Amino acid sequence: MKKYGILLIGCGHIGTQHIEDIYYRDNIDIIAVVDTNEEKAALTASKYGAKDYGADYKAFINDPRVDIVIIATYTATHLPLLRESLANGKHVLCEKPIAGNYEDGKEFYELVKSASQKVLVALILRHNKSYNTIKSLIDAGEIGELKVMRIAQSHHVTDWERHKALLEDTSPVVDCGVHYFDVMQWFTGAKICEVSGIGNKVEEDSPRANYTLATVKLNNGCIGYFEAGWSNTIASLNVKEFIGTKGRITLTLKDLRYSDREEGDLISIYHRDNREYKTLNVDSEYKDMNAQIQTLIDMIENGTPGSPTIDEVFSAFYATIKADEAIEKGTVIKI
């Protein structure tokens, strides 16, 4: 079995989650971990047995032992790091969003389209068992025709400085919305064709609106909303509800269940005709980082398409950029 040499760039919140789930796998070899904060890189290396660490990725980017670069740094750095990784012949697993603005996102997309190496963008819900189960239920007609998607993912933050740094690069509707706009297009097989919304700056020192509510229409007639707020004052809210002509599906993550968390996530299916609920317990990892990187390895070894493909990634990204613009201008934008 081939062992894939990994270079992790960015040992923060999400970089740590990547390495935590993959460092002990049979086909993974952690060559080096890098963070501009060298102490963080050193701690990560010693915790997960990386062969080396440093503050500058340039020391490792052309290392022949590195097959895959994981980019887990701030959004504005994703494009330059992708460019350098590809120029050095590396495959890439890059955190979302691909960029904080349209121009960089377009360049990212075009680079991936023309590259001979494989690139997977980390839209982690594509690898989540509960989301895959809901997609199968919808496809099987369990709730009739899907009409409305209600999605909220708001965080009561206790680490404002980290979220402020993310807000420097882009808004919550782009940063987090790329996951859920992708889910909306994935679940319906349709395209987002109209966006609008509202937003406000809740913290005085926030670089931009840190509470946003985007509304979308898809070209099959389905509609949805996506709420994302990151603030010291907001209460966390997690709503995942898919409403059809014959019923609805609601997802409750295991950590948010009142009881039986040990059973995993709870999917509840309400049927209009008999007014009954059916429930499913799904043993699902919220962020299945190993499934995600194995998808990239499958792309490398077998030429399988990405999940999602770069076209799907760009389509969801573009819709969030337009939603952000609509919120800022107070207008409705047709895509």
Binding site for ligand NAD (CB under 6 A): 9-15, 34-37, 40, 57, 72-75, 77, 95-96, 122, 124, 162, 165-166, 175, 287
For ligand NAD, the closer CB: 32 or 299: 32
Cβ 131 to ligand NAD, closest distance in Å? 13
Cβ 82 to ligand NAD, closest distance in Å? 12
Which among 52, 95, 330, 79 has a CA at the least distance from the CA of 209? 330
CA–CA dist 163, 242 (Å, integer): 28
Cβ 147 to ligand NAD, closest distance in Å? 27
Cβ 10 to ligand NAD, closest distance in Å? 3
Cβ 16 to ligand NAD, closest distance in Å? 8
Which among 313, 242, 296, 279 has a CA at the least distance from the CA of 22? 296
CA–CA dist 266, 284 (Å, integer): 10
For ligand NAD, the closer CB: 77 or 154: 77
CA–CA dist 198, 213 (Å, integer): 5
CA–CA dist 177, 223 (Å, integer): 15
For ligand NAD, the closer CB: 94 or 213: 94
Cβ 56 to ligand NAD, closest distance in Å? 7
For ligand NAD, the closer CB: 174 or 192: 174
Query: What backbone phi and psi angles, to 5 degrees, belong to 137?
Result: -65, -40
Which among 65, 67, 71, 91 has a CA at the least distance from the CA of 12? 71
Continuous H helices in the chain: 13-22, 38-48, 78-87, 102-114, 129-139, 160-169, 172-175, 177-188, 289-302, 310-329
Fill in the amino acid letter for 247: G
CB distance 230 to 212 below 8 Å: no
For ligand NAD, the closer CB: 34 or 146: 34
Greatest Cα pair distance, the chain, in angstroms, is 64
Tokens 């979308």 correspond to what residue?
A: 216
Residue nearest to ligand NAD (CB): 12
For ligand NAD, the closer CB: 87 or 148: 87
How does DSSP classify residue 84?
H
Record the tokens describing residue 205, joined without a space: 């020192």
What would the DSSP string read from start to end of 206-260? -SS-SEEEEEEEETTS-EEEEEEEEESSSPPEEEEEEEESSEEEEEE-GGG-SS-
Cβ 187 to ligand NAD, closest distance in Å? 18
Cβ 141 to ligand NAD, closest distance in Å? 30
For ligand NAD, the closer CB: 84 or 142: 84
For ligand NAD, the closer CB: 124 or 266: 124
